[in-house]
């Protein structure tokens, strides 16, 4: 009863204060320049992949269709946090409205969830291509690809909606200081003036269920893929099969590493500085490095980008 009276006496939080990296103006400017550079490189890389695939008819295949969706997901993911952080550093205005915080959480879940969902579908695509090559066009037809992509986006919309509702069912009536450069779930739970045990368990259960299903599906798919590849008699054939999987495996490993380090590292490694660095890992690195990985590891994308650059160079001259 006393706790309830105390909550009633406190005003409800209507906006949050993003503490960010530093109060020092020079550090804020450095942060702005670095994040702007990273954001522009990420946008250019992902849009370049989208334009290269759309403009090249040879790349109108299921694998590149899902790669375009992955690039769209990366753009959504990094645009959820970086623009607000840039504005904060430039203007030194750390406030974010309650609605803005809700939007960041919701879009963040969509970005991260769709990334995992699309990587799962791409693993299935590689499984069918390598283990059932004669039936590939029949199984991975245009209609099936569109249905899988739509199912991924819709399921993540529902997942993001549920997770956001759970988080903002909490009451915020005390401190509004978030020790991050964006609205982050653990930070919101820390400043909530209500018991967060139920929300923590629900978020953990939903997260583990989704991650276990997707991760398990990917590992099983690659188990069959490696088994099939090792049965290919020629070394060149094995290399070609592995080369189509390498970018996907690299991207999946990068995404998993950053998320696991951010949310499952020991408490002994938890501090304000470490929380900030880990947040940068999973919100910035995958969208930045995914297009770079595909450009370096995929010859078809390299050729498409090269043709595209030559085409625009000729138009300019």
How far are the Cα atoms of 109, 152, 249 from residue 158, in angstroms, in the given order? 10, 10, 27
Is residue 105 included in any domain, yes or no?
Answer: yes
Q: Look at residue 2 in the predicted model and tell me its pLDDT.
A: 43
Domain encompassing residue 243: 13-316
Is residue 198 included in any domain, yes or no?
Answer: yes
> Exposed, middle or buried, 96 (CB in 10 Å: 0-12/13-18/19+)?
buried
> Exposed, middle or buried, 119 (CB in 10 Å: 0-12/13-18/19+)?
buried
Q: Look at residue 235 in the predicted model and tell me its pLDDT.
A: 81
Is residue 1 included in any domain, yes or no?
Answer: no
Is residue 257 included in any domain, yes or no?
Answer: yes
Is residue 2 included in any domain, yes or no?
Answer: no
> Exposed, middle or buried, 300 (CB in 10 Å: 0-12/13-18/19+)?
middle
Counted domains in the chain: 1
Is residue 166 included in any domain, yes or no?
Answer: yes
Is residue 83 included in any domain, yes or no?
Answer: yes
Q: Look at residue 267 in the predicted model and tell me its pLDDT.
A: 62
In order, the DSSP letters of 14-37 are -EEEE--S-S-HHHHHHHHHHHHH
> Which residues does the chain have with pLDDT short of 70?
1-11, 262-271, 313-317
Q: Look at residue 73 in the predicted model and tell me its pLDDT.
A: 92
What tokens appear for 129 in the block?
Answer: 């291509």
Q: Look at residue 146 in the predicted model and tell me its pLDDT.
A: 95
What tokens appear for 57 in the block?
Answer: 């008819």
Q: Look at residue 36 in the predicted model and tell me its pLDDT.
A: 93
CATH number at residue 149: 1.20.1070.10
Is residue 7 included in any domain, yes or no?
Answer: no
Task: Supply the pTM of this predicted model.
Answer: 0.86
């Amino acid at each position: 009863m006393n706790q309830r009276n105390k909550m009633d006496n406190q005003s409800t939080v209507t906006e949050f204060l993003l503490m960010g990296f530093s109060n020092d103006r020079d550090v804020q400017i450095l942060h702005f320049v670095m994040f702007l550079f990273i954001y522009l490189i990420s946008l250019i890389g992902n849009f370049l992949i989208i334009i290269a695939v759309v403009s090249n008819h040879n790349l109108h295949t299921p694998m590149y269709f899902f790669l375009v969706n992955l690039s769209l997901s990366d753009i959504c993911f990094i645009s959820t946090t970086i623009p607000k952080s840039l504005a904060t550093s430039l203007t030194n205005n750390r406030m974010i409205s309650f609605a803005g915080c809700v939007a960041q959480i919701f879009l963040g879940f969509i970005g991260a969830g769709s990334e995992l969902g699309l990587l799962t579908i791409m693993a299935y695509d590689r499984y069918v291509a390598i283990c059932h090559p004669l039936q590939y066009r029949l199984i991975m037809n245009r209609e099936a690809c569109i249905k899988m992509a739509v199912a991924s986006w819709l399921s993540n919309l529902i997942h993001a909606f549920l997770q956001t509702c759970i988080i903002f069912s909490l009451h915020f009536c005390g401190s509004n200081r978030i020790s991050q450069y964006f609205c982050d779930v653990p930070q919101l739970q820390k400043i909530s003036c209500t018991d967060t045990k139920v929300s923590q368990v629900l978020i953990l259960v939903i997260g583990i269920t989704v991650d276990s299903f997707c991760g398990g599906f990917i590992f099983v798919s690659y188990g069959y893929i490696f088994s099939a590849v090792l049965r290919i008699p020629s070394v060149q054939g094995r290399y070609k099969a592995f080369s189509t999987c390498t970018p996907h495996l690299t991207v999946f490993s990068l995404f998993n590493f950053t998320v696991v380090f951010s949310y499952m590292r020991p408490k002994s490694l938890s501090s304000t500085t470490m929380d900030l660095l880990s947040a940068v890992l999973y919100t910035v690195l995958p969208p930045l490095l995914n297009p770079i990985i595909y450009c370096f590891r995929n010859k078809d994308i390299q050729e498409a980008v090269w043709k595209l650059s030559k085409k625009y160079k000729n138009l300019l001259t």
